[in-house]
Structure 1
Amino acid sequence: MKHLFSVLCISAGSILSLSAQQTQKPILYGRNWMAITGKPLAATAGAMTFQKGGNAVDAACAMLAATCTMWDTLSWGGETQALIYNPKTKKVIAINAMGVAPTGATIEFFKSKGYNFPPEYGPLAATTPGTPGGLIYMLVNYGKLSLKQVLEPAMKMAAGYPIEAQAANSIEKGKEHINQWPYSKKVFLTHPGEKREAPEAGEIFVQKDLLATLTKMVEAESKALKQGKTRKEALMAAYDRFYKGDIAKEFVRGAQEQGGLITMKDLANWKPLQEEPLQVNYKGIDVFKLQQWTQGPVMLQALNILENFDLKGMGYNSPKYIHTLYQAMNLSFADRDFYYGDPTTMPKGPIQGLLSKDYAKERAKLIQYDKNNTNIGPGNPYPFEGKTNPYLNLLQQRGYEMDTTKRNFAPKHDLGKINTSSDDVYQERLLLGTTSIEAADKEGWVVSVTPSGGWLPACIAGETGIGMSQRMQSFVLDSALNPFNVLAPGKRPRVTLSPSMALKDGKPFLASAVQGGDTQDQNLLQFFLNVTEFGMNVQQATEAANINTNQLWLSLGGTKTEDRMPKPGQILLNNNTPSATREALQEMGYILSFGARTSGPINAIYFDWKHGSLWGGSSNHGEDYGIGW
């Protein structure tokens, strides 16, 4: 125990200066604009859009369109959400373009098929597409350019672009699924019957059906403009053609032909929403996240908890810091897993209590300094907003004792099998990727997006060229797991997608986002602390070694309860973690696993108001790329 105490007390002064660390990629500097995303070609699309005179919203939409056309981690039938800083109002606003569960998507339907969660792949995994509507909504309200101008790079790519190795290999890996779906097979398997049926890296990949769909949307806009309609009316004509016109009819026909549930009414009734973001203040910095239909508030809750500790004094990635961070994240994720869900439907979660500073202080008291607490469960935030918790009976069904002084056992639902060996399937589900988009301009517009859905292997809906979302799998069918995220038609699932934005002294400070399922807010939390507590620059902070906790319910992957269960005490550390740190964590009861990739990929923009410049950071762990000017 003496050894453990001495290691826990490693101070910031006893480790190498973080500010002197070299990065594998350079900081990206710009004065006029910055465009960063998960794919080099998509970053080029953003740069092209800025050069046309577009603002950061236009550029973000162009990057969104390009990444959707590249398929690897998302497509046009998926979902989009964004945080936008409006320099005219000096406010951060939130865009909710998440699709909803379609007609017929009921608990009884999926349980009759033997599912404990909706499926991972195929037509029955699909919510209504949100990305086309979200993109157009952002252009209508905050962009400057036409849909034709913004979609031009994506349309040229749909006509044929050299496919990247990552996407090409994902197609080959998923060809067993793809062969089940006739429209996907036609698009993706360009060498049918050969040993490798997928395209080769660098092969010109053509998507005629998708190009036709995008052309129809642009044609609707152009026709409306020729008729003397306003820019907004013209953009909405494109929107209507997608959600109510011939594109919608073919999408629904193709989805239903393959066993899907989406109807014309589902598409026509869906609309993107503009929302007030949630926020907390961490040591003078206002941090913004999307509402609790995402996991974003996890980061806000964790910051509230961590504000009660001297993190800088602990030292970056010291055993004490790692332990405190791990515990704070577990407390926040336990609340996420039980209380988060679509706030536009009933019941509505206790988000005011969850984000209360007093609630955070109570949660912080549960952190034991010398060992991992495997018994962490959801708290009771209702008293912190002056209400009585109506779900205490469900917590008791889960095996939780709300009086933490009496709790001495792990909840029966949460006794996942602890595997000390590498669990590739579990880790893949934990890290399931999307992409991220960051854009800023000299006018002051800032955009942070984490779009997703319709990733490979994707089921394409008819002759539209559009892959359907797989986000239905993030619902639960058992209210004992989460009464706020139970599947119902017209409802949005609680998703992992979670862009971030922070203001300091009322001005943009950081914009960031990261791919990866349940790891997103783990990595974004540590990125933020890397900058604010440990003085790293934006590129150092994107590359720095993070940790991941597996003591949470997985949001993606697997249709059985055991596929999603938490792994108490399991922690992912970077390969370079010192032996003394490893030993100290093992003494505290942690089960260690290691990897070279533990920090992202994170994309971010830092705002240097002293010099009037933009600093771009782009992780070295993926294909992420930025261009600035």
Structure 2
Amino acid sequence: MRHLLLWLAAILLWTGVQAQQTQKPPLHGKKWMAVTGKPLAATAGAMIFQQGGNAVDAACAMLAATCTMWDVLSWGGETQALIYNPKTGKVIAINALGVAPTGATPAFFKSKGYDFPPEYGPLAAVTPGTAGGLCYMLAQYGTMSLKEVLAPAMDMAAGYPIEAQTANSIERGKKYIGQWPYSKAVFLTHPGEKREAPEAGEMFIQKDLLATLTKMVEAEQEALKKHKNRKEAIMAAYDRFYKGDIAKEFVRGCQEQGGLITLEDLARWRPIEEEPLHVNYRGIEVYKLQEWTQGPMLLQSLNILENFDLKAMGYNSPQYIHTLYQTMNLTFADRDFYYGDPYFNKNRAIMGLLNKDYAKARAKQILPDRNDDDAGPGDPYPYIGKSNPYLHFLEERKGYMDTTNGRKPGGFVPKHDATTFNAGTNIEQLYAQQSADSAYHDRLWRGTTSVEAADKDGWVVSITPSGGWLPACIAGHTGIGMSQRLQSFVLDSAICPFNVIAPGKRPRVTLTPSMALKDGKPFLSFAVQGGDTQDQNLLQFFVNVVDFGMTVQQAAEAANINTNQLWLSLGGTKVSDRMPRPGSLLLNSNTPEKTRSILEGMGYHLSFEQRTSGPVNAIYLDRKHGTLWGGSSNHGEDYGIGW
């Protein structure tokens, strides 16, 4: 009888999911769809589509506009993209992430007292990647000129009415901004007044940035006059940015303020076109970038979840939440230890991590009735016929899992950091100390933006750019905010042997665009902002569509869960700032009391928020009707336009 009641409850819950009303309507289009983090930036994409551009052209225009609007990124940041090319039927991966500059070594940062590279300022910067990534994507897969694609962003740099979100972010960060002369001149438009930042609706003018973009367009146009083709002309603009006068002023401004980036660092850097990673989940091919991002964590999670009947559990039932949480803990543990720049390590573990048999073995580790505080990295190497060269680090980690003295097992601390976090500290005291710590959740959720575009000819683009966010340190008179991505490196191999900082190396980033194909054709393009929660939210979005039959708008608005049982990738200056919080589970405020009670009985430490997912942006390609659906979460400023 009890099983019958549970089954009926699941059916009722499933019916409720199907009938779910959304606060924002889904978008529909037959020719194109443009979705991104700002209404004006979505309009920029629409303008390019209306001028005859393809999805790559429109995506580049939206990327340029969001950088110019400081949508938690700028032109000095980094770009990660997946592109479906209908001419070849393949998904292309674009790696436009900057690298650590000359002199950026563990010894350098340890000598300054850091456990991780700093969060802000010129010492937080990797080389800029977005400008080069945009030029590369446009040259290789777009149809329009750089002049045409940058026109909306240049118009905005000349002056646009700034929105409240960015204006208020400037005001909150003025303590930092005031320390950097070039940032102060751009952002603090009312110096000495009580509010030094611009007001919402005020015309925000960026003369230096406009001059930089103008120089890039001039380089393109001069190359065309010399009878260079479209691609060569766009790459002439690229060269002016990374090797010409723009590069010289960027480096001068960076080094003047204490940064490490050199002209040689800029000249050596290149965007990389890669093969994406992918797995098959219930007949759908899901694509992510390689393990220099956290993206494969979603693929690993799908491999594990494939061993469970999620639909029978019911959307956000206690059993479903528990299974999802445990799965993510296992895959985050693997991420935290095995992910990093694949070009710096020949002992890659990723194909073992994505092996279906490895996933089955990990699925069997999930405890059915309680949280596993000890969930740690697995050993994927036997699944690719190799021996694990890092077992000594795994053994060292186990030594720090202390279950004595009433302490719940918690995150490991490297030996050299034992003075930072005493292994005998009661974990409950740590929870109490940090439960009201808004800085922790800022680091966990730290956002960026996303760009989604699709057109009637079959081009589909998913981008998650970031870096150079407010409060940004602007490099000289370029108008370009420097990246803060260096903080995603670690300084000790015992935390992650793949992600130790080194000059020329890319940090492992949270940024993670997504794409899915069904029957060899684009099915979904989706991305989200939000630091370490990105692939948590995207995993649930995808399962909501595939397993629970939601539309993209329903799935984008649906209540998610977040695990904090992971090493944070951003923020903080000490190991204790980033340590995992075993059993820490964020639920939506509308979670029923019965569900809360069951989860507490399983050992979870619950917290609640109205917001439990970042703004998901997505496009669904409706093969049945030959149309496009657009979805965008019901909070934040993310916005889409379709036609």
TM-score by length of 2: 0.95
Per-residue CA deviation, residues 488-530 of structure 1 (Å, 9 max, x unaligned), is 0000000000010000011111000000000000000000000
Show the 5 A alignment for 1:489-500: 489-500=503-514
The offset of 1:411, in angstroms, is 5.2
- Per the alignment, residue 542 of structure 2 pairs with 528
1:582 and 1:6, CA in 2 relative to 1: closer, same or farther beyond 3 A? farther
Whether the 8 Å contact between 1:11 and 1:314 is mirrored in structure 2 is no
- Per the alignment, residue 360 of structure 1 pairs with 359
Residue identity in the other structure for 1:62 = A
2:530 aligned with 1:512 = no
Paired with 1:215 and 1:130, the residues of 2 have a C-alpha distance of: 18
The offset of 1:410, in angstroms, is 4.5
Residue identity in the other structure for 2:592 = P
Q: Secondary structure at the match of 1:240?
A: helix
Q: Secondary structure at the match of 2:517?
A: strand
- Per the alignment, residue 405 of structure 1 pairs with none
Per-residue CA deviation, residues 311-336 of structure 1 (Å, 9 max, x unaligned), is 00000000000000000000000000
2:416 aligned with 1:418 = no
2:574 aligned with 1:560 = yes
- Per the alignment, residue 478 of structure 1 pairs with 492
- Per the alignment, residue 477 of structure 2 pairs with 463
Q: Secondary structure at the match of 2:538?
A: helix
The offset of 1:421, in angstroms, is 3.5
The offset of 1:270, in angstroms, is 0.1
Whether the 8 Å contact between 2:410 and 2:580 is mirrored in structure 1 is no
The offset of 1:21, in angstroms, is 1.2
2:468 aligned with 1:454 = yes
Paired with 1:401 and 1:189, the residues of 2 have a C-alpha distance of: 47
- Per the alignment, residue 252 of structure 1 pairs with 251
- Per the alignment, residue 48 of structure 1 pairs with 47
Paired with 1:349 and 1:239, the residues of 2 have a C-alpha distance of: 32
Paired with 2:8 and 2:241, the residues of 1 have a C-alpha distance of: 58
Paired with 1:198 and 1:584, the residues of 2 have a C-alpha distance of: 48
Whether the 8 Å contact between 2:62 and 2:451 is mirrored in structure 1 is yes
Paired with 2:61 and 2:165, the residues of 1 have a C-alpha distance of: 21
Per-residue CA deviation, residues 30-74 of structure 1 (Å, 9 max, x unaligned), is 000000000000000000000111100000000000000011310
The offset of 1:17, in angstroms, is 2.2
Paired with 2:435 and 2:489, the residues of 1 have a C-alpha distance of: 29
- Per the alignment, residue 237 of structure 1 pairs with 236
The offset of 1:232, in angstroms, is 1.1
Whether the 8 Å contact between 2:29 and 2:629 is mirrored in structure 1 is yes
- Per the alignment, residue 632 of structure 2 pairs with 618
Whether the 8 Å contact between 2:525 and 2:619 is mirrored in structure 1 is yes
Q: Secondary structure at the match of 1:77?
A: coil
The offset of 1:233, in angstroms, is 1.1
Q: Secondary structure at the match of 2:28?
A: strand
Show the 5 A alignment for 1:134-153: 134-153=133-152
- Per the alignment, residue 417 of structure 2 pairs with none
The offset of 1:424, in angstroms, is 1.2
1:235 and 1:551, CA in 2 relative to 1: closer, same or farther beyond 3 A? same
Paired with 2:147 and 2:435, the residues of 1 have a C-alpha distance of: 51
Q: Secondary structure at the match of 1:551?
A: coil
Alignment RMSD, CA only? Answer: 1.7
Task: Name which of structure 1's ranges 421-430 and 138-147 shifts more when overlaid on structure 2.
Answer: 421-430
The offset of 1:422, in angstroms, is 3.5
Residue identity in the other structure for 1:277 = P
Identity %: 75
Paired with 1:493 and 1:124, the residues of 2 have a C-alpha distance of: 14
Whether the 8 Å contact between 1:341 and 1:348 is mirrored in structure 2 is no
Q: Secondary structure at the match of 1:502?
A: strand
1:424 and 1:7, CA in 2 relative to 1: closer, same or farther beyond 3 A? farther
The offset of 1:600, in angstroms, is 2.1
1:89 and 1:410, CA in 2 relative to 1: closer, same or farther beyond 3 A? same
Paired with 1:8 and 1:600, the residues of 2 have a C-alpha distance of: 31
Residue identity in the other structure for 1:569 = G
Paired with 1:7 and 1:555, the residues of 2 have a C-alpha distance of: 43
Show the 5 A alignment for 1:339-354: 339-354=338-353
Report the count of equivalent residues: 622
Per-residue CA deviation, residues 169-189 of structure 1 (Å, 9 max, x unaligned), is 000000000011000000000
Show the 5 A alignment for 1:165-564: 165-399=164-398, 410=410, 412-413=412-413, 417-419=430-432, 421-564=435-578
Q: Secondary structure at the match of 2:483?
A: coil
2:136 aligned with 1:131 = no
Paired with 1:53 and 1:383, the residues of 2 have a C-alpha distance of: 51
Per-residue CA deviation, residues 85-128 of structure 1 (Å, 9 max, x unaligned), is 00000000100000000000011100000000000000000000
The offset of 1:425, in angstroms, is 1.2
In structure 1, list runs of 5 or more residues that go unmatched.
403-407
Q: Secondary structure at the match of 2:358?
A: helix
The offset of 1:201, in angstroms, is 0.5
Whether the 8 Å contact between 2:446 and 2:531 is mirrored in structure 1 is yes
Whether the 8 Å contact between 2:517 and 2:523 is mirrored in structure 1 is yes
Q: Secondary structure at the match of 2:398?
A: coil
Whether the 8 Å contact between 1:7 and 1:319 is mirrored in structure 2 is no
The offset of 1:418, in angstroms, is 2.4
Q: Secondary structure at the match of 1:390?
A: coil
Whether the 8 Å contact between 1:160 and 1:206 is mirrored in structure 2 is yes
Paired with 2:540 and 2:413, the residues of 1 have a C-alpha distance of: 29
2:592 aligned with 1:578 = yes
Whether the 8 Å contact between 1:10 and 1:315 is mirrored in structure 2 is no
Whether the 8 Å contact between 2:102 and 2:503 is mirrored in structure 1 is yes
Residue identity in the other structure for 1:480 = A
Residue identity in the other structure for 1:301 = Q
Per-residue CA deviation, residues 243-264 of structure 1 (Å, 9 max, x unaligned), is 0000000000000000000000
Q: Secondary structure at the match of 2:522?
A: strand
- Per the alignment, residue 616 of structure 2 pairs with 602
Q: Secondary structure at the match of 1:370?
A: coil
- Per the alignment, residue 82 of structure 1 pairs with 81
Per-residue CA deviation, residues 150-203 of structure 1 (Å, 9 max, x unaligned), is 000000000000001000000000000001100000000000000000000110
Q: Secondary structure at the match of 1:528?
A: helix
1:437 and 1:10, CA in 2 relative to 1: closer, same or farther beyond 3 A? farther
1:261 and 1:7, CA in 2 relative to 1: closer, same or farther beyond 3 A? farther
The offset of 1:413, in angstroms, is 2.4
- Per the alignment, residue 12 of structure 1 pairs with 10
Residue identity in the other structure for 1:304 = N
Whether the 8 Å contact between 1:32 and 1:442 is mirrored in structure 2 is yes
Whether the 8 Å contact between 1:102 and 1:261 is mirrored in structure 2 is yes
Whether the 8 Å contact between 2:124 and 2:486 is mirrored in structure 1 is yes
Paired with 1:349 and 1:435, the residues of 2 have a C-alpha distance of: 29
Paired with 1:253 and 1:499, the residues of 2 have a C-alpha distance of: 33
Q: Secondary structure at the match of 2:531?
A: coil
Residue identity in the other structure for 1:103 = T
Whether the 8 Å contact between 1:542 and 1:600 is mirrored in structure 2 is no
Whether the 8 Å contact between 2:400 and 2:412 is mirrored in structure 1 is no
Q: Secondary structure at the match of 1:541?
A: helix
Per-residue CA deviation, residues 452-492 of structure 1 (Å, 9 max, x unaligned), is 00000000000000000000000000100000000000000
1:479 and 1:8, CA in 2 relative to 1: closer, same or farther beyond 3 A? farther
Structure 1 runs, 4 residues or longer, greater than 4 Å off: 5-11, 408-411
Paired with 1:483 and 1:565, the residues of 2 have a C-alpha distance of: 17
Per-residue CA deviation, residues 202-230 of structure 1 (Å, 9 max, x unaligned), is 10000000000000000000001011111
The offset of 1:8, in angstroms, is 8.1
Paired with 1:264 and 1:203, the residues of 2 have a C-alpha distance of: 36
Q: Secondary structure at the match of 1:412?
A: coil
Paired with 1:305 and 1:72, the residues of 2 have a C-alpha distance of: 35
